[in-house]
Amino acid sequence: MTWHAAPLAGRTEFLRSSAIRDLLGLAGRSDIVSLAGGLPATETFPVEAVREACARVLATRPHDALQYGPSEGIAPLREWVAAHLGARGMHFDPDQVLITSGSQQGLDLIGKVLIDAGSAVLVERPSYLGALQAFGLYAPRFVGIDADAEGPLPLAFAAALPGARLAYLQPHFSNPGGCSLSDTRAAHLAPLLAAAPTWLVEDDPYAEIWFETPPQPGLIARGVAQGVHLGSFSKVLAPGLRLGWIAAPRELAPKLAQARQAADLQSSSFAQWLVLELLRGGAVERGLPALRQLYRGRRDALLAALQAHMPAGVRWSRPGGGLFVWVTLPHGLDAAALLPQALGRGVAYVPGVSFDVRGEARNTLRLSYSSVDEARIDAAIATLGALFEHALRAAPEARAA
């Protein structure tokens, strides 16, 4: 019998595999050093503590852990999140907190509840690809705001803000930019937002991964009332547990919870009780110094290797935390076009154009030091340096970035 393909929903038009993603499929090969991924280092997972906490959960709360639970998340974990945010100057009651299956689910729920087709959504250039994908399904009109090492440029932000439905920002150690909102920049942006009927979404999974000093307060902590905060246990504990949260203003929190019910009812009860047990036993807090030290060493190795091996005219961010460095090549070089050659030489990165809503930043790329040890970082950057040097010689018209 022949089968006549039935139509898909129109929005599947926004679900595309990209040539870059297909190429990066190769990055998992054992002969390739991947600076592309950004996966947390497995050495940071508190395996023994998780094993013990699983046993305790099963001994003390087997039925709660294996039963359905509230869509909003278990009460003591919501209380922990509210207290944690309060200590960082963000004041939400536990009933404004929704436990989610990672902050990625939070982004999708925000898209569902806040974005109509054609809504203006402000995002930095560059911005987190997962947010562009999640919001993209709801057919917004993305407005890319130029950003520098201190955050979005205030004039561009102010010009784009009127009529915008939401602004999506990462206040600390951003993916992919490796940047944080500076004090001065935050002081410029907060009053603009306070005067606008626009939601602010602060996606903040890297705040605890600081290397020298804890981060400055973001915009919600500076009193922006329409702020929605997204957090995650993925980077400080383990992403496989798939737990994060949204903390939202009272007008929004119930809508997010209802949208969430329709999506997957709830996050895993077992994972929630487990994470609570790990938080209460101090395993997450105890792991943070070693986690910061490991990533700081790798960040230092990557910055030193860039300094040693990159040709003149290449610039890069110097993150004070998080997992990413953003590299800008001289204009005229195309990081996406060079990726097959980099893979051929055994090194993977993500071309920056993937993170740019305007699709223009062709001379940029994202490197992650998170899951590569220091010796391999140096060798990989030496390879990339030689490749870019060669490409520059072949393109004498390339201009310094």
Give the interface with ligand PLP as residue ranges (CB under 6 A).
38, 102-104, 128, 130, 170, 175, 203, 205, 232, 234, 239, 244
Q: Which is nearer to ligand PLP, 232 or 333 (CB)?
A: 232
Q: Which is nearer to ligand PLP, 38 or 319 (CB)?
A: 38
Any idea what DSSP says for residue 47? H
Q: Which is nearer to ligand PLP, 203 or 277 (CB)?
A: 203
Strands 166-169 and 244-247: unpaired
| Shortest distance (Å) from residue 352 CB to ligand PLP | 15
* Sign of the dihedral through C-alpha 297, 299, 301, 307: negative
Q: Which is nearer to ligand PLP, 241 or 391 (CB)?
A: 241
Q: Mention every residue, 6+ apart, whose C-beta is less than 8 A from residue 70.
A: 266
Report the SS3 class of residue 311.
coil
DSSP lists the bridge partners of residue 120 as 141
| Shortest distance (Å) from residue 243 CB to ligand PLP | 8
| Shortest distance (Å) from residue 124 CB to ligand PLP | 11
Cα 140 to Cα 103: distance, rounded to the nearest angstrom: 20
| Shortest distance (Å) from residue 390 CB to ligand PLP | 32
Q: Which is nearer to ligand PLP, 244 or 330 (CB)?
A: 244
Report the SS3 class of residue 390.
helix
| Shortest distance (Å) from residue 232 CB to ligand PLP | 3
Q: Which is nearer to ligand PLP, 100 or 363 (CB)?
A: 100
Residue 30: how many CB atoms within 10 A of its CB?
A: 5
DSSP lists the bridge partners of residue 148 as 151
| Shortest distance (Å) from residue 241 CB to ligand PLP | 9
Residue of minimal Cβ distance to ligand PLP: 102
Report the SS3 class of residue 154.
helix
Residue 28: how many CB atoms within 10 A of its CB?
A: 11
